[in-house]
Amino acid sequence: MSQNDQSELRYVRYDSARENEFVAAMRQLISKDLSEPYSIYVYRYFLYQWGDLCFLAMDDKDKMVGVVVSKLEPHRGGPLRGYIAMLAVRGEYRGRGIATKLVRMAIDAMIKRDADEIVLETEITNTAAMKLYERLGFLRSKRLHRYYLNGNSAYRLVLYLREGVGSIRTSFDPYGPPYPIEQHSTSTAEGNGS
C-alpha cells in the first residue's frame, strides 16, 4: 500500500489513437469492478461520441488504475444532461481520492461544454460510490426498484448546474391570484403550459 501511495499518478483524457490498448485495459478494470456486464460496443457508444468526457488514471508504468466514462446530450429535447456511465478504480489504489479526481475531471469537462445537469445511477449497496457523489453535491432524486441484473435496487443521483433546469413550466403566470379564495375570477387563464 505505502508503495502505491508514493507512486506518481497521471490523469489523462482518453485518446482515440490508443483505442485498442485503452479499451482493453478499461474493460478489464470495469468488468472486475462493476456487477453489470458490458460488450465492446458499450464502450464504442460512449468513446466514439464522448471520448473527451472519458478520463483515465495511469500509474508510473503507464498502467491504467482508474477510469470514468460519461456522455453528454440533450435529455428528451430538454436540458443538456451529462451522464456518468462507469467509474472504476483498481482495488489496491482505492482510498487515495482517484475516483473523486476522475469524476471531478469529467464534471469539469461537462461544465465547460455547458451541461445543465449531471445524472447517474448507483447500486444502493455501493455506499462508497454514493458517499463520493454526495460529497460532490449530488442528491438522490429517486430510488429504482430492482434496477440491475443482480436484482439490486439503485438510486438516481442528480446534480443541477444551472438555475431553471428543473423547471419544465413554460407559461405560468406568476401574477395569478393564489388559491382558493380570490383565484376564481381569473381562473380561465391557462395556468400551466407543461
Partner 1 sequence: MDTEKAVSYLSGLLGRTLRIHASDGRMFVGLFKCTDADRNIILANSFEYRMPSASTVQEAAAKETESWDETQVKATRVKVNMSSRLIGLIVVPGHHITKIELE
Partner 2 sequence: MLPNNEVRVPLPRAAAQSSAPRDITAQFTEAASKLQVGQLVKDESFTLFEAVGALEIMDSKMDSGYIAPGEDHAEALEIKYDSRQDLTAEEVVGLMDQLLCHEMAWHMGHPLSQTLFTSIYIDKLLWPTPKTIEEAQFDRAPSENRIVELVLRAYCLALLKACDYVHARVASEYYYEEEDFVTQLYNRNLLSGIDSSHFYRLLDQAIDWVENQDTIRSDFKDAIRSRLCLRREFLASVDQDLEILETHSTESFKLCLNHLASVADTVTLGKPVPEAFSLKLQRKLASTVPPRPIVHIKQEDALEQMRRLCQDAIDMQQMLDYRGPSNFKAAVWTLVSRKPQPSVYIRSLLQALIISDSSILGTVPVRKYLYDDLAELVLPASMLLRANLDDVELPSDPRFRIAQVMDSFVKRFAQPFVDTIRSACLNRCRVRRTVCHTVVDWDNLQMEAEEIDMQLQGISAEPALQVQGGDTTFSYPLSSWTYHQKLLQLRLILQMGFELSIYAPEELPGIYWYLSHLCSTHLGHLDRIRTFTVAARKRDLVSGGNDAAKSAAYHRSFLHLERLTTHIIAIDAFAIALHALYVLLARHEVLPCAAGPRAYSSDKLRYELRMKPFLPISLPELVPFEEFRREATLEGDSDTTVLDRASKAITEARKAWEATLANGAFIEDVACSSTTKSAPLAIEEDWRREIKDTMRACIGTSIAIETVRKAIMGAASLSSRQEKLSLDVVIPEIGSKARWHDWWVVPQISPGTMSLATG
* Binding positions for partner 1, 24-43, rule CB under 8 A: 39-41
- What residues numbered 40-59 form the site for partner 1, per CB under 8 A? 40-41, 44
Measured from the CB of residue 20, what is the shortest distance to partner 1 in angstroms?
8
Measured from the CB of residue 15, what is the shortest distance to partner 2 in angstroms?
11
Measured from the CB of residue 179, what is the shortest distance to partner 1 in angstroms?
51
Contacts of 22 (CB under 8 A, 6+ apart): 14, 15, 56, 64
User: One-letter amino acid identity for 130?
Assistant: M
Q: Give the one residue of 11, 42, 75, 125 binding partner 2; rule: CB under 8 A.
A: 42
Measured from the CB of residue 36, what is the shortest distance to partner 2 in angstroms?
4
Nearer to partner 1, 6 or 39 (CB): 39
Nearer to partner 2, 60 or 97 (CB): 97
Q: Give the one residue of 40, 62, 77, 112 binding partner 2; rule: CB under 8 A.
A: 40
Which DSSP symbol is given to 165? T
- What residues numbered 7-36 form the site for partner 2, per CB under 8 A? 16, 19-20, 31, 34-36
Which cell is 184 given?
376564481
How many Å apart are CA 117 and CA 80, to the nearest integer? Answer: 7
Residue linked to cell 490508443: 18
114 lines the binding site for partner 2 (CB under 8 A): no
Q: Pattern 92-111, binding to partner 2, x per CB under 8 A?
A: ---------------x----
Q: What are the contacts of 106-112 at 24+ separation with CB within 8 A?
A: 106/53, 106/54, 106/55, 106/68, 106/70, 106/82, 107/82, 107/136, 107/159, 109/13, 109/52, 109/53, 109/55, 110/53, 110/70, 110/72, 110/82, 110/161, 111/161
Residue ranges binding partner 1 (CB under 8 A):
39-41, 44
